[in-house]
Structure 1
């Protein structure tokens, strides 16, 4: 029922829905590494500073903000915002940007179809996403901003002065 659980559930959801998208990987010459793989999904931060380029392609899920609110005469609401960052690599500029758009689109469609993640987290609209137009070749970035309805937490103790 917390943002931590939401991040874990969202990670599983995105891994499941993007597992068949094979993307380019930058490899060192004669390293024997594969030149393609699926995007790895991380929560909150990448493992280290070097991972910003060395782990591409990746999808990074970051908690941004949370809000608990109750207006007069309305039941309590709880929500949080999660940013989904997508990074890809390609020597072909058009292909790199399209890879970002492909991942964002796959995630977008899956989220909108499901409408819920982890049986308790409700996706709210609007769902915003962008592929950055900046020239950062051979790395390409985009992101999606999601808003999630969270299970509300009720006060367990009644205060006498209320």
Structure 2
């Protein structure tokens, strides 16, 4: 399986495990849009540059690196790193940062409890996360760095020597 499949499965997994966390949305005063909703989940990038603030709250899944290795006498290993970015909005500074921590905590607990996403991708430790201390009010961000054990890709050509 590939990192592309992992991103698809992780998107579905995170949507399912965060759908009941209702977060504030910045709207124009004359707008009749919803003022709260669950975070949207996106893969790799947001749909457009303006989305960095207009689409908040969101969760962004970004592939960072992948590695295939095999030590002598060992089984082959394949892993990749996925960054999970969480962005929220709030007029209350303490609440905005807590919203980020709440979403990250929900994802963290779910991943550690289940240990697997999509039946073939295993989460590995360490699992690192941070709520950015920067003063970016009324927007708040944090991220989690995850490492995934990927299924092996079997060689189709035999060694002839």
Structure 1 length as normaliser, TM-score?
A: 0.98
Runs of 4+ in 1 over 6 A off after TM superposition: none
Aligned residues: 161
1:35 is matched with: 35
Q: SS of the counterpart of 2:63?
A: strand
5+ residue gaps, structure 1, are none
Alpha-carbon deviation of 1:154? 1.5
Structure 2 length as normaliser, TM-score?
A: 0.99
Alpha-carbon deviation of 1:160? 2.0
5+ residue gaps, structure 2, are none
Distance 1:67 1:58 in 2: 28
1:19 is matched with: 19
Please report the RMSD computed on the Cα atoms of aligned residues, expressed in angstroms: 0.6
1:133 is matched with: 133
Distance 1:159 1:114 in 2: 38
2:64 is matched with: 64
Distance 1:74 1:28 in 2: 59
1:107 is matched with: 107
Distance 2:17 2:66 in 1: 26
Distance 1:28 1:159 in 2: 65
Distance 1:45 1:33 in 2: 24
